[in-house]
Chains A and B, each alone.
Chain A
Amino acid sequence: RKEVEQDPGPFNVPEGATVAFNCTYSNSASQSFFWYRQDCRKEPKLLMSVYSSGNEDGRFTAQLNRASQYISLLIRDSKLSDSATYLCVVKKGAQKLVFGQGTRLTINP
């Protein structure tokens, strides 16, 4: 089993829709969680950190479910510019980050 698993997609949704992805992780001792965004063949960029209480940044909401060991990302009122690959990242131990393979999202006009 992979340490961090994501549905690779692709997810194709119409502009304005709400879309959500989950990411599961295997190490129950993981302490820090993140979502990164990666445009085609470009460098990943931090979208948001995921806190235990959940957090929201504009149209984006991230949630953590420790009991079931997954994190989620919800995008409301999706825009064409949201088309990208979303990487789930879990911090394992003091220094190591483990990346999921990414979920590809395409927003259609």
Chain B
Amino acid sequence: EAQVTQNPRYLITVTGKKLTVTCSQNMNHEYMSWYRQDPGLGLRQIYYSMNVEVTDKGDVPEGYKVSRKEKRNFPLILESPSPNQTSLYFCASSLSGRGTGEKLFFGSGTQLSVL
């Protein structure tokens, strides 16, 4: 089944403790992206990647890191999480990211709480 797999689904952590949220897709998509969703603000892009070893900042990259060593995986790293990073996170992928009608496939989300 074609899908984007995100883990974990829920994560509670404390300020400053490094964490990684994993994202993997099995559709051979070139484009992958991370979003955070907060009430009243919609989805905001954190980082995106057009292909292996190519990553770029989105609108809210501060406090986050990503890597794209393999096409299928795009982990999101919080080196020193803070309470303002408490949010619902989504990973997404699409075929190339360039197509005008391209569909974004989303993972099921990670609800992160930083205490």
Stretch at the interface among B12-20, B64-72, B74-82, B106-114: B106-114
Closest CB in chain B relative to A20 CB, distance in Å:
20
A101 touching B48 by the CB < 8 A rule? no
Given contacts A43-B109, A102-B42, contact A95 B48 (CB under 8 A): yes
Question: At the interface with chain B, which of A9-17, A44-52, A60-68?
Answer: A44-52
Residues on B with beta carbons closer than 8 Å to the beta carbon of A97: 45, 104
Contact (A41, B88) CB under 8 Å given A95-B31, A99-B43: yes
* Cβ-closest chain A residue relative to B31: A95
Contact yes or no, A44 B111, CB < 8 A: no
Q: Is B34 an interface residue, CB under 8 A from the partner?
A: no
Contact B104 A46 (CB under 8 A): yes
- Closest beta carbon of chain A to B50's beta carbon, Å: 7
Residue positions of A touching B, CB distance < 8 A: 4, 8, 31-32, 36, 41-46, 49, 87, 91, 94-97, 99-102
